């Protein structure tokens, strides 16, 4: 496919617009930190006025549900399928759909592809995606572990193979995406075989403002004890928990590292709970591998928070992983472990935009 690809990545309150040429080089970019559903169309229209000709548009969607298991060209049926699963990722899906609708209105004559974050995990082994719930629930409601951050994992897998000089098909990797949302994934031969996030992006390790997995019995107890309904508890779990809830001040690890150095014990505890949660997540999914060829950090925290990387790696001796990582934050995929270690540790800067462009081109060239 010839021509530039426009990638739209709409977050819970941000919008990233990136144009990549045929060599996947960024030729235009604009980031909006406070994008609103109403403002998306105006921001996109302004951006398009300064862009080269766009041949196709790729959209990141967090949840594809049970019907969208791979990158797909958008039509009315696909749009309806996305709407049907929007409540499973309420922070991300509504703004993504608003961006998708605006782009289709402004660019009606080019193909639009949606690239679900769940697609990378669509072939999880049955034991890895099945919940220990009554069969009637599972069958009636399609309850399963979908997994998320798939675009990030697909990119990190490919770039890790390049750094190690080995074919993707030979590698068994532990990868953790640490950002506003956090998860871990076991990758065997380029495919996800286990992951920590589940039916929604709330399951798994503690995150910036999300709780991660907690005892479901405690939620039932809280409902009875406080009288709070499901919606109030849900809001607390996704917006008031995690690092923010633990520290009482911030969900940003950079701020918490500084606060810990200044003697803030709540910040110190928040970081300890967080890094233990990451180690638990990695150790758990490692049980789905035969060996570990590398540990890979990606995501905003994974890329630029050496204190977090060190705390995670240094606590995984049971998996043959060692600390003593370099404190540099490489701009390109690189090793950060010492020479001669049993399990190399890498940092791969997030490449979701490049992965979306790659998947969009592949879809249109098929």
Q: pTM for the whole thing?
A: 0.95
To 5 degrees, how large is the angle CA 270–CA 61–CA 275?
A: 15
What's the mean pLDDT when you consider all of the chain? 95
CA 88, CA 103: separation in Å to the nearest integer? 23
Within the chain, residue ranges assigned H as helices are 40-48, 76-84, 93-106, 126-129, 135-141, 150-164, 216-226, 230-239, 242-247, 253-261, 265-286, 299-304, 306-314, 352-365
**What is the structure's pLDDT at 118?**
96
CA 210, CA 200: separation in Å to the nearest integer? 12
pLDDT digits (tens, 9 = 90+) for 265-292: 999 999 999 999 999 999 999 999 999 9
CA 256, CA 8: separation in Å to the nearest integer? 31
In 3D space, the residue among 171, 32, 52, 27 whose CA is nearest the CA of residue 102 turns out to be 32
Phi-psi sector, 133: left (phi>0), alpha (psi -120 to 50), beta: beta
pLDDT digits (tens, 9 = 90+) for 236-255: 999 999 999 999 999 999 99
CA 147, CA 199: separation in Å to the nearest integer? 7
Asked if 298 and 278 touch (Cβ cutoff 8 Å), the reply is no
**What is the structure's pLDDT at 68?**
92
Cα 253 versus chain centre, distance: 17
Choosing from 117, 194, 264, 293, the catalytic residue is 117
Q: Positive or negative CA dihedral for 146, 150, 153, 159? A: positive
CA 81, CA 156: separation in Å to the nearest integer? 28
Residues 6+ apart with CB under 8 A from 241: 206, 209, 210, 211
Mean pLDDT score, 295-301: 97
Mean pLDDT score, 94-123: 95
In 3D space, the residue among 128, 111, 107, 130 whose CA is nearest the CA of residue 72 turns out to be 111
**What is the structure's pLDDT at 32?**
82
CA 330, CA 317: separation in Å to the nearest integer? 24
Residues 6+ apart with CB under 8 A from 212: 182, 202, 203, 204, 205, 206, 242, 277
CA atoms within a 13 Å half-sphere pointing along the CA-CB vector of 205: 32
Tokens of 221: 């107890």
In 3D space, the residue among 234, 256, 235, 232 whose CA is nearest the CA of residue 244 turns out to be 256
In 3D space, the residue among 59, 51, 61 whose CA is nearest the CA of residue 21 turns out to be 51
- According to DSSP, the residues that pair with 188 across neighbouring strands are 172, 191
**What is the structure's pLDDT at 105?**
95
pLDDT digits (tens, 9 = 90+) for 127-143: 999 999 999 999 999 99
In 3D space, the residue among 303, 310, 350 whose CA is nearest the CA of residue 326 turns out to be 310
- According to DSSP, the residues that pair with 73 across neighbouring strands are 113
**What is the structure's pLDDT at 13?**
66
**117 noted as active-site residue:** yes
Helix (H, G, I), strand (E, B), or coil: what is residue 72? Answer: strand
């Amino acid at each position: 496919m010839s021509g530039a690809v426009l990638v739209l990545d709409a977050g819970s309150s941000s919008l990233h617009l990136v144009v990549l040429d045929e060599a996947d080089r960024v030729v235009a970019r604009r980031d909006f930190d406070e994008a609103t559903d109403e403002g998306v169309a105006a921001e996109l229209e302004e951006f398009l006025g300064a862009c080269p000709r766009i041949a196709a548009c790729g959209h990141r969607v967090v949840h594809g549900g049970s019907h969208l298991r791979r990158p797909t060209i958008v039509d009315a049926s696909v749009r309806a399928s996305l709407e049907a699963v929007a409540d499973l990722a309420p922070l991300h899906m509504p703004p993504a759909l608003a961006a998708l609708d605006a782009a289709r209105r402004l660019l009606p004559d080019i193909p639009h592809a949606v690239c679900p974050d769940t697609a990378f995990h669509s072939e999880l082994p049955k034991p890895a995606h099945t919940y220990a719930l009554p069969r009637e629930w599972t069958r009636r409601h399609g309850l399963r572990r979908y997994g998320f951050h798939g675009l990030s994992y697909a990119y990190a897998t490919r770039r890790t193979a390049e750094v190690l000089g080995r074919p993707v098909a030979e590698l068994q990797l532990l990868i953790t995406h640490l950002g506003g949302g956090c998860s871990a994934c076991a990758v065997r031969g380029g495919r996800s075989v286990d992951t920590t996030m589940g039916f929604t992006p709330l399951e798994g390790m503690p995150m910036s403002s999300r709780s991660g997995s907690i005892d479901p019995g405690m939620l039932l107890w809280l409902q009875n004890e406080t009288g709070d309904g499901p919606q109030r508890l849900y809001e607390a779990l996704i917006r008031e928990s995690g690092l923010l809830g633990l520290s009482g001040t911030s969900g940003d690890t950079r701020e918490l590292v500084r606060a810990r150095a200044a003697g803030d014990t709540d910040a110190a505890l928040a970081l300890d709970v967080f890094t233990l949660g990451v180690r638990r997540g990695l150790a758990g999914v490692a049980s789905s591998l035969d060996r570990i060829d590398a540990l890979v950090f990606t995501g905003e925290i994974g890329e630029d928070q050496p204190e977090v990387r060190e705390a995670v790696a240094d606590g995984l001796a049971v998996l043959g992983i060692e600390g003593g990582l370099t404190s540099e934050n490489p701009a390109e995929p690189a090793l950060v472990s010492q020479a001669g270690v049993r399990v190399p540790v890498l940092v791969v800067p997030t490449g979701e935009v490049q992965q979306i462009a790659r998947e969009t081109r592949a879809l249109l060239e098929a």
